[in-house]
Copies of this chain bind each other. A is one copy, B any other.
């Protein structure tokens, strides 16, 4: 199968550069400009961040296929599916936020240099994903459906590998626990659609993993193989990246720390201010509506978002202006899984001459954002309280 082996065949025509801050061109890494990011609850494809570890494969939908393997102590199965096979399976749609584990890495770089692409708060996006359930595919080839069966007494993983080359390993690969996939509440998809249309190349055409509640690094694009196995992926991206190492682990000594700490899976509670955007000036004495997003991991609902205008001494509730889920009756029940983000707003009646704004979110598991960021070598999962102090101006408007 022909794939791009270099950067001469990048899909530039699909990249609306006005909407992005480009962090690297090869591989193409670009985050959304945050003020445009929250104009709609579902993020348009051309505002969804782009995160790559190599050239973008150029796959042909007619000849593309994915190998499904089970390679465990008891079971050995192998099968190949093409796009037509996937389309024959029951189709599901789920609105889920995709967040890069490196979102807001800039806050950790500000403490001390880290190993990773610089990102602001623009690597989170909320999309409607469509495709078939990975669970249904696995059941169809013989993986036990019943989570009570002996098969699940042992910890197993499902590894996803991508077509194309990657910068730090022979190709991109990653795994998530099998029991997570097989739990029907979790809706892990082999997705072929994003916001109702075929995936574009930057987002994994023709098929990618969608693993709601899990870090973006496990949502493998340009699927080449899916493999049920008795251990985690051996990939660089599972074992030597995407872990929160303790602060004493550095580039010089991290070898001994990697095996001691788990590969990240669940997202954690997060919020960011998108308006004011970085550099946006506020007009002193005028009203302003602060806006942003909040999200959490593993299906935990965002309960509340709080804003402080006095450096964290007091906090007030933001209004949650757009959220998905079973809460439409106004009563908040902990139960169904929440995969999407929440958009919020907070009006300021009169912008002061010096304006400090902070936000923090809480999830239904009682988790909130740490007051200060704790540095880690790979600069992942920075979810410290989000703070800005936008420039102010007397402004030209009528007061």
B335 & A155 in contact (Cβ 8 Å cutoff): yes
Give the top 5 A-B pairs by smallest Cβ distance, nearest first: A268-B366, A262-B334, A266-B365, A177-B335, A155-B335
Q: Indicate the size class of the contact surface on chain A.
A: 35 or more
Residue from B156, B248, B304, B331 in contact with A317 in the complex, judged by beta carbons closer than 8 Å: B248
B374 & A372 in contact (Cβ 8 Å cutoff): no
Copies in the complex: 2
List B contacts of A157 (CB < 8 A).
335
* Alpha-carbon distance A186/B364, docked complex (angstroms): 18
**For the complex, would chain A's binding face be called helix, strand, loop or mixed by DSSP majority?**
loop
Residue from B184, B231, B300 in contact with A152 in the complex, judged by beta carbons closer than 8 Å: B184
Closest to A304 in B: B246
Chain A 290-305 interface residues, beta-carbon cutoff 8 Å to B: 297-298, 300-301, 303-304
Least CB distance from A127 to B in Å reads 22
Least CB distance from A155 to B in Å reads 4
List B contacts of A372 (CB < 8 A).
371
List B contacts of A232 (CB < 8 A).
333, 335
B371 & A383 in contact (Cβ 8 Å cutoff): no
User: Is A287 located at the chain interface by the 8 A CB criterion?
Assistant: no
Closest to A215 in B: B366
B335 & A179 in contact (Cβ 8 Å cutoff): yes
A269 & B367 in contact (Cβ 8 Å cutoff): yes
A374 & B368 in contact (Cβ 8 Å cutoff): yes
Known: A155-B326, A179-B185. A306 touches B246 (CB 8 A): yes
Kindly name the residue among A152, A260, A297, A316 whose own CB sees the greatest number of chain B CB atoms within 10 A. Answer: A260
Closest to A213 in B: B365
A333 & B147 in contact (Cβ 8 Å cutoff): no
* Alpha-carbon distance A381/B364, docked complex (angstroms): 12
* Alpha-carbon distance A303/B257, docked complex (angstroms): 12
* Alpha-carbon distance A301/B264, docked complex (angstroms): 12
Closest to A259 in B: B331
List B contacts of A147 (CB < 8 A).
147, 183-185
Residue from B148, B155, B247, B335 in contact with A336 in the complex, judged by beta carbons closer than 8 Å: B155
A262 & B333 in contact (Cβ 8 Å cutoff): yes
Chain A 323-358 interface residues, beta-carbon cutoff 8 Å to B: 326, 330-336
User: Is A261 located at the chain interface by the 8 A CB criterion?
Assistant: yes
A262 & B330 in contact (Cβ 8 Å cutoff): no
